[in-house]
């Protein structure tokens, strides 16, 4: 599933926003063992564990959006929207902080 979070930041700031948001998510939900590994300047691999199942996907920093794509098994799809909503809320918090000059 593809999830797009629009932003109006420059690319380096958008990447810092993604890093900070993911770090917050990782701190709040350590039981899911979230990981974020940058494979290049604009793309990262992401992974989570839920009930013993590893969920994986990617995060792409684009000029006007942060795009998340997760491969979620059918049985976990009801939880997918919840996870993506939590991630989007974290990203929006850090976008607002970037606009306010807080980092």
Name the CA radius of gyration of the chain, rounded. Answer: 13
75 exposure class (CB count in 10 Å sphere: 0-12, 13-18, 19+): exposed
pTM: 0.86
Give me the tens of pLDDT residue by residue for the chain, a chain 103 residues long: 789 999 999 999 999 999 999 999 899 889 989 999 999 999 999 998 877 878 889 999 999 999 999 887 777 677 777 777 888 899 999 999 999 998 7
CATH fold of 2-99, please? Answer: TATA-Binding Protein (3.30.310)
Q: How far apart are alpha carbons 64 and 84 in whole angstroms?
A: 18
The candidate with the shortest Cα–Cα distance to 80, out of 67, 91, 69, 90, is 69
């Amino acid at each position: 599933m593809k999830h797009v979070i629009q932003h109006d930041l420059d690319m380096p700031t958008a990447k810092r926003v993604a890093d900070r948001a993911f770090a917050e998510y990782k701190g709040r939900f350590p039981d899911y063992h979230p990981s974020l590994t940058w494979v290049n300047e604009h793309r990262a691999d992401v992974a989570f564990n839920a009930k013993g199942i590893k969920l994986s996907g990617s995060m792409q920093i684009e000029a006007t959006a942060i795009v998340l794509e997760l491969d979620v098994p059918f049985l976990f799809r009801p939880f997918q929207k919840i996870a993506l909503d939590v991630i989007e809320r974290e990203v929006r918090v850090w976008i607002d902080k970037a606009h306010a000059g807080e980092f």
